[in-house]
Amino acid sequence: MHLIKKEIEIEVYDSELELQIEDQDLLRLARESMENAYAPYSRFLVGCVLLLENNTIVKGSNQENMAYPSGLCAERVAIFYAGANYPGVAVKTMAIVARAKDYTIQNPIVSCGACLQSLTEYEKQYKKPIRTILQGEGGKIWIANKGTQAFMPFQFNVEELKR
C-alpha cells in the first residue's frame, strides 16, 4: 500500500484592494457579466470572465431553462464560447462571482463538478493551468494559481477516448 497525497493551495485575500489591478478588473467584469445571467428559477446569478492568452476577454453567465437540466452554468458558457470562437488560445485567468436574489453569498463559490471537469480538459489541451479567482458578493477572495486542480484534484481522464 502507498498513499497518494495532493497538496492544494489557495490564496485568501480580505478585499479586492489587496489584488493586482488586472485581477480587480477581472472581478469587476465578472460582476458586469453576472447581471446578464438568466436565472429566474434558482434566482442565483453567476458571472464568469476569462482572460485569454491573446488578452481577449470572454464573458459568461448562467443561462437557465424551464426544462431545468437544459440550462448551463456560467463557467461552461464561457469556456465553450472560448473554445468555439478562439480555438488554440489558452486561458490565462478566470474570475467567477455569484449573487443570490434572496440571501447574501458571503463566501466564494466553487464551481460545480461538471464545470471543473470541462475546465480541466481545456487546461490539459493547452498544457496551462487556468489561474482562478473566486468571490461571493464581496468579502474574501480566493485565488488558485495552479488552476482548477485545486478544486478537483482528480478528473475523469481516459486518454484512449481521444483516439
Q: Which residues are catalytic?
A: 75
Q: How far apart are CA 111 and CA 46, in angstroms?
A: 10
- Whole-number minimum distance, CB 142 to ligand THU, in Å? 14
Q: 36 vs 53, which CB is nearer to ligand THU?
A: 36
Among 126, 116, 133, 147, CA closest to 48: 133
Q: 15 vs 41, which CB is nearer to ligand THU?
A: 41
Q: 10 vs 53, which CB is nearer to ligand THU?
A: 10
- Whole-number minimum distance, CB 37 to ligand THU, in Å? 7
Q: How far apart are CA 65 and CA 53, in angstroms?
A: 32
What ranges make up the beta strands (E) of 101-151? 131-135, 141-144
Residues engaged in binding ligand THU (CB under 6 A):
39, 42, 44, 46, 62, 64, 71, 73-75, 111-112, 115
- Contact assessment for residue 139 and residue 107, using Cβ atoms and an 8 Å cutoff: yes
- Contact assessment for residue 33 and residue 60, using Cβ atoms and an 8 Å cutoff: yes
- Whole-number minimum distance, CB 1 to ligand THU, in Å? 35
